[in-house]
Amino acid sequence: MADWIINTLAVIGAYTGMEFMAWFTHKYVMHGLLWDWHADHHKAKHEKEGFLEKNDRFFLVFAIPSAFCYMYGSMTQTWWVFFIGVGISLYGLTYFLIHDVYIHRRFKWFKQLEGTYSRAILRAHGAHHAKSTKEDCESFGLLVVHPKFFKRRSQKMADSSEA
């Protein structure tokens, strides 16, 4: 198989796998063992001190495997590992742009998007932040959104009244 195909598959596989890793880490680590780091992210803006959150430490946690893949892949004959690092980095960039820039508006770079998918992402994340505790939250992923978040409030109410 051609190297470019293997490298492309490594990027796509790592990128896709990171959505699962982000979900898993968010559900079981951020809302578990390392809740102390993540708790301030669930506070309202007026309750936070400064621009940075303890939650921002997770950027470094996710950057470590990517950096390792870059180094290992470029220092050995296993170049495809380098491209796993690229996939992880691209997911990290996507996460930053969607989560920090678009959803939480920490940087005012994008306006509100009008697409069905972008609204579903906002609804899902809003449902997640409806709780300020580590228990009983939902919607831990970023890009894979439960179908219920694609429905408008009026559609949900109509569906529930039919039941």
DSSP class per residue in 1-70: --HHHHHHHHHHHHHHHHHHHHHHHIIIIIIIITHHHHGGGGS-GGG--SS--GGGHHHHHHHHHHHHHH
Residue 122 has pLDDT above 70, yes or no: yes
Token pair 């306006």 in the structure block, residue: 111
Q: What are the Cα distances from residue 161, in Å, to 16, 93, 145, 154?
A: 37, 41, 24, 11
Distance CA 59, CA 10 (A): 21
What pLDDT shows up at residue 160? 57
- How far the first Cα of the chain sits from its last, in Å, is 53
> Taking all residues of the chain, what is their mean pLDDT, rounded to a whole number?
90
Rounded mean pLDDT, 48-75: 92
Q: Which domain holds residue 7?
A: 3-162
Given a cut of 60, is residue 158 above it in pLDDT?
no
For 22, other C-beta atoms within 10 Å of its C-beta total 22
What integer is the mean pLDDT of 16-40? 96
* Residue-wise pLDDT tens digits, 133-143: 889 899 999 99
> What is the number of structural domains in the chain?
1
Average pLDDT over residues 111-118: 87
pTM for this entry: 0.87
Residue 79's pLDDT band, with cuts at 50, 70 and 90, is: very high
Averaged over 150-158, what is the pLDDT? 67
State the pLDDT at residue 155. Answer: 61
